[in-house]
Chain A
Amino acid sequence: MTAAAESVLTIAVPMLIVLGGIISPLAFRKGKGLAASASLFFLVALALNSWLLMGVQEGAALYYPNTQGIIFNAASAFIVEVTLALGFLGAIYSYRYFEDEKILAPFYALYSFFIATLVLMAVSFNILIIYVAFEASTIAGGVLILFTKRRSATKAAVRFFVLSVIGAVTILVGILYQNSLTGTFLLDQSAFSGVANSDLVLLSALYAIGFSIKVGIFPFGLLWLPAAHSEAPTPVSAILSGVMVQIAAFAASRIIGVISPVSYELGLSLVALGALSVIVGALLAAVEATYGSKYSRFHVSPVNIRGIKRIWAFSTSSEVGVFYILIGLALMAPALSPLFFAGILLHFLNHGLAKALLFFDSGFVIETSRTADLSLLKGLGSKVGVNGLTYLIGGFSLSLIPGTLGYNTFLEFTRGHIGMEITAVIITAALFIFFTTLYSLRSIVAGRPRAKVEYIDKVHSRATLRIPGVVLAICIVALGIIVLLGANGIALEGYYHQFEEWFSVAARTISEPWVGVA
Chain B
Amino acid sequence: MLIALTFMIIGIAGCIAASIAFNFILLLAFVEITSVSMFFILLLSFIPAYFPDRIKAGSLFYCGLAKEPYVSDSSVYRPNVPLLNVPYDTNWDEYYDKSTMKVEKT
Contact A150 B47 (CB under 8 A): no
Contact A452 B89 (CB under 8 A): no
A432 to B40, CA, bound (A): 38
Partner among B29, B51, B89 whose Cβ is within 8 Å of the Cβ of A155 = B51
Closest chain A residue, CB of each to CB of B104: A452
Contact B92 A176 (CB under 8 A): no
Shortest beta-carbon distance, B87 to chain A, in Å?
A: 8
B93 at the interface (CB under 8 A from A): yes
Contact A305 B95 (CB under 8 A): yes
Size class of the contact patch on chain B: 20 to 34
Interface residues of A in 263-278 (CB under 8 A from B): none
A91 to B36, CA, bound (A): 32
Contact B96 A457 (CB under 8 A): no
Closest chain B residue, CB of each to CB of A175: B28
Known: A155-B51, A305-B95, A451-B106. Is A370-B101 also a contact (CB below 8 A)? yes
Known: A450-B106, A457-B100. Is A150-B92 also a contact (CB below 8 A)? yes
Interface residues of A in 142-189 (CB under 8 A from B): 143, 146-151, 153-155, 158, 161-162, 165, 168-169, 172, 176, 179
Partner among A154, A172, A176, A456 whose Cβ is within 8 Å of the Cβ of B81 = A154
Contact B81 A455 (CB under 8 A): no
Residues of B within 8 A of A103 (CB): 84, 86
Contact B97 A370 (CB under 8 A): yes
Partner among B25, B88, B95, B97 whose Cβ is within 8 Å of the Cβ of A149 = B88
Residues of A within 8 A of B50 (CB): 154
Known: A172-B32, A303-B93, A307-B95. Is A454-B81 also a contact (CB below 8 A)? no
A371 to B92, CA, bound (A): 8
A3 at the interface (CB under 8 A from B): no
B21 at the interface (CB under 8 A from A): no
A64 to B86, CA, bound (A): 44
Contact B106 A454 (CB under 8 A): no
Closest chain B residue, CB of each to CB of A460: B100
Contact B51 A151 (CB under 8 A): yes
Interface residues of B in 22-57 (CB under 8 A from A): 25, 28-29, 32, 36, 39, 43, 47, 50-51
Closest chain B residue, CB of each to CB of A179: B25
Known: A150-B89, A154-B81. Is A453-B103 also a contact (CB below 8 A)? yes
Shortest beta-carbon distance, A113 to chain B, in Å?
A: 14
Residues of A within 8 A of B86 (CB): 103, 149
Contact B83 A169 (CB under 8 A): no
Residues of A within 8 A of B96 (CB): 370-373, 376
Interface residues of A in 82-122 (CB under 8 A from B): 103, 106
Contact A456 B102 (CB under 8 A): yes
A147 to B85, CA, bound (A): 11
Partner among A150, A372, A455 whose Cβ is within 8 Å of the Cβ of B88 = A150
Q: Interface centre among B39, B87, B95, by most A CB within 10 Å? A: B95
Shortest beta-carbon distance, B70 to chain A, in Å?
A: 25
A459 at the interface (CB under 8 A from B): yes
Contact B32 A149 (CB under 8 A): no
Contact A147 B84 (CB under 8 A): yes
Contact B84 A165 (CB under 8 A): no
A453 to B98, CA, bound (A): 11
Closest chain A residue, CB of each to CB of B46: A158
A301 to B83, CA, bound (A): 21
Residues of B within 8 A of A155 (CB): 51
Residues of A within 8 A of B103 (CB): 371, 376, 451-454
A350 to B82, CA, bound (A): 36
A151 to B49, CA, bound (A): 12
Contact A451 B105 (CB under 8 A): yes
Q: Chain A 449-488, CB within 8 Å of chain B: the 1/0 string?
A: 0111111110100000000000000000000000000000
A158 to B45, CA, bound (A): 13
A172 to B86, CA, bound (A): 35
A96 to B100, CA, bound (A): 18
Closest chain A residue, CB of each to CB of B97: A370
Residues of A within 8 A of B99 (CB): 456-457
Contact B101 A149 (CB under 8 A): no
Closest chain A residue, CB of each to CB of B87: A149
Partner among A149, A179, A373, A455 whose Cβ is within 8 Å of the Cβ of B89 = A149
A457 to B47, CA, bound (A): 36
Closest chain A residue, CB of each to CB of B83: A143
Known: A172-B29, A305-B95. Is A158-B100 also a contact (CB below 8 A)? no
A401 to B36, CA, bound (A): 45
Binding site for A on B (CB under 8 A): 25, 28-29, 32, 36, 39, 43, 47, 50-51, 81-84, 86-89, 92-97, 99-106
Ordered by A's residue number, 19 sampled pairs between the chains whose C-beta atoms are within 8 Å are A146-B83, A148-B92, A149-B88, A150-B92, A150-B93, A151-B93, A176-B25, A303-B95, A371-B103, A376-B101, A451-B104, A452-B103, A452-B106, A453-B101, A453-B102, A454-B103, A455-B100, A455-B101, A459-B100
CB-CB nearest 8 A-B residue pairs: A371-B96, A370-B97, A452-B104, A149-B89, A370-B100, A451-B105, A457-B100, A372-B95
Besides the known contacts A143-B83, A456-B100, 20 further A-B residue pairs in the complex with CB atoms under 8 A apart: A103-B86, A106-B84, A149-B84, A149-B88, A150-B88, A150-B92, A153-B81, A154-B81, A165-B39, A169-B36, A172-B28, A176-B28, A370-B97, A370-B101, A450-B106, A451-B106, A452-B104, A454-B102, A454-B104, A455-B102
